[in-house]
Structure 1
Amino acid sequence: MQAGRKACWRQLQASFFRLLCLIPTGFPVRSVDMQRATDNITTRQGDTAIIKCYVDDKVSRVAWLNRSNIIFAGQDKWSLDPRVDLVTKGQLEYSLRIQKVDVYDEGSYTCSIQTKQQPKTSQVYLIVQVPANINKVSEDITVNEGSNVTLSCLASGRPEPVITWRLLNPLAEPLEGEEFLDIIGIMRNQAGRYECKASNDVATPDIKYVNVVVNYPPTIRKTQSSETPVGRMGMLQCEVTAVPTPEFEWYRDEKRLSNTQGINIQILGTTTVLVIANVTEEDYGNYTCVASNRLGVQNASLFLYRPGTGRDINGSACVSQSLWLLLASFACLFFKC
């Protein structure tokens, strides 16, 4: 037992003295023969890095070190990391290979060479880049028109990723914002799908999306009156923009209309159509379309009229319009305009 301990102690001493002979005094130093700065090797997280070192037949000892830790001394592996091994293509190459590189592998690596003349060292700094990754982004939101909105997009990577925003409308122009995109008094035309892109040129940019819904009260954008003879089918149409989708009501004077015999109310999203199957003299007149949601109400007047009574298809009075034009002409002549 005593003899075994002595043998083990002698082996440790031998290794220790071998290392002292191998590593130059005041390590790390740069060889006088190598008049250049430390080389940089850039690799991507998860890839394999090969750090090159070449020797000649005059070399007696060689080792790889990372900071102050010995990785290899000759062919003896000191590192316990299974990802690390040597690449020795022939007797002149003594390169270090690191598989599945990670950020903690970044740092200075030294190939230390002992020759008969003098020791030499070759230093390489390994830079590990990490692709941009968006790790937190705002959830889809619904807001009322005029509200202030802040969208967030947080990303990591090495180097630090650049974050850009776009609203994916037909123009899709870049927006001013980085990690946080502030929208003051959001309008209905700013609703849509927002794209957050994080890029650092290491890999394909990471992209995430945020859907923004903007609620606003109804606006009647188009009405269609009807010029219909007796006995034919008349149709009045009312087209609205609103979020959320509005509810519709139809009125004849003060009376609310419903689906009854001869009258059919159709609703197609944000458009409603009042259909009168068989127009009679009593059906001619003014109708009101009312659109409402929880943010507001708007109404418009439409007309069902017999042919030749002078109302245009949008419900305005052609006779009245002509009369106003005639009066304007007389006024212009009177005041010599």
Structure 2
Amino acid sequence: MEYHIIATLSLVLSGMCVGGSILPAGPLSGAAGGAVLFSTTLEPTTRPFISVGWSFRGRNFITYTVTGSDFVDEAYAARVTLDRTTGSLQLRDLVLGDSGDYLVSITPDGEQQKTGTMQLNVYAPITGASISNPASSATLIAGQSAATLTCDAAAGNVSTREWMQNGRPLLPSPDRVTFSADAKMLYMNPVLSDNHGNYQCRVSNAVSAMTAAYNLTVNYGPQNMSIVGPREAALGIRVLLRCSADSVPPPTYRWALDGNDTRVTTSTYVVERMEESHAGNYTCTVNNRVTKLQNSTVIYLRASGSAPYWSFTLLLILSLNVGESLLTC
């Protein structure tokens, strides 16, 4: 029997196989501090195996024989559980040093020896994911500045990095947006207005994942100006003209009527009661204090000849008077 055990262990250590592998295709992944299960493909049996042996990196750490000559390496005694009906093995309290090839050799009663090999990769869970900007204090101006963002983790084996902007995958563009080979660094040169926003980086490995976020401020504009309001207004009504522009930071506003400063410095120009004197060209001028850029747009407001808001009342009185006159005729 001792000769049989020695022969069994020799097969395990040498990695020889009799028939197909009794372990599924790997590799198997586990988290440091966690547990994994090496499951064989054997069906549970009521007839005890003649022998079961597991080895790691050429060193036998657990054996079981039908004679009761069991052996468990002292370093694994508190960390392993063997299912004697299938030969499957649970390994607990994983450490990074547990990564490597595991070999199993099982001799069922009345059958040939069966073997299998499985690679185990143990990963440290990712913690402390972050996006950093080495030039975070620099003022970025669209079309003039460059930016670099770095995605990393405080601990853990990072296998992949995925970048997103405002929740959407961020794709490279050969002329302006590029990544380092490991996607750790994001380069933008130059930054444009569409680079302003929230960036996310998802770092992951086989056992864990974390997402970090970073708000990147790109100063731009003013651009895409417009004035929303009527181009014709009846006398006596209230008129609102709203000026808008894409700009970071928000711009300052200034209104002029036919070239004359109106002293209105808000985005909305209000004509409380339309009169002929209010007709003309309204110019909205916006300034960005950071980019030092200025832009303006114009809308022409015409006064129509419609009656003022009280004309309906007047018409009603006149119609009543006419009606009374007809009745007296």
Q: TM-score range by the shorter chain?
A: 0.5 to 0.7
SS of residue matched to 1:289 = strand
Q: Is the CA contact 2:36–2:91 (under 8 Å) kept in the aligned structure 1?
A: yes
Tell me the amino acid that sits aligned with residue 165 of structure 1.
W
1:49 equivalent among 23, 33, 37: 37
Q: Match of 1:145? A: 142
2:303 equivalent among 302, 306, 310: 306
Q: Match of 2:159? A: 161
Q: Please list every run of 5 or more consecutive structure 2 residues that lacks an aligned counterpart in the other structure.
A: 64-68, 108-112, 173-178, 306-329
| Residue 275 of structure 1 pairs with residue 270 of structure 2 | yes
SS of residue matched to 2:61 = strand
Deviations 1:300-334 (A, max 9, x none): 344444337xxxxxxxxxxxxxxxxxxxxxxxxxx
Aligned-partner Cα distance in 1 for 2:116–2:236? 98
Q: Is the CA contact 1:132–1:161 (under 8 Å) kept in the aligned structure 2?
A: no
> Which has the larger strand fraction?
1
1:97 equivalent among 71, 90, 98: 90
Q: Match of 1:67? A: 57
Tell me by how many angstroms 1:281 deviates: 4.5
Classify 1:105/1:51 alpha carbon distance in 2 versus 1 (closer, same or farther; 3 Å). farther
Q: Runs (4+) of structure 1 moved beyond 6 Å?
A: 18-21, 35-38, 53-58, 155-158
Aligned-partner Cα distance in 2 for 1:53–1:241? 63
Classify 1:192/1:101 alpha carbon distance in 2 versus 1 (closer, same or farther; 3 Å). same
| Residue 211 of structure 1 pairs with residue 195 of structure 2 | no
Deviations 1:192-236 (A, max 9, x none): 333434566x46865444433321132362124653444333333
SS of residue matched to 1:143 = coil
| Residue 175 of structure 1 pairs with residue 171 of structure 2 | yes
| Residue 192 of structure 1 pairs with residue 197 of structure 2 | yes
Deviations 1:121-162 (A, max 9, x none): 94634322649858544258773212222233236877x734
Tell me the amino acid that sits aligned with residue 86 of structure 1.
L
Across the aligned residues of Structure 1 and Structure 2, the Cα RMSD in angstroms comes to 4.5
Aligned-partner Cα distance in 1 for 2:201–2:171? 10
Number of residue-to-residue matches in the alignment:
268
SS of residue matched to 1:218 = strand
Q: Match of 1:246? A: 251
SS of residue matched to 2:14 = coil
Tell me by how many angstroms 1:98 deviates: 0.9
Q: Please list every run of 5 or more consecutive structure 1 residues that lacks an aligned counterpart in the other structure.
A: 1-17, 115-119, 259-264, 309-337
Q: Is the CA contact 2:99–2:121 (under 8 Å) kept in the aligned structure 1?
A: yes
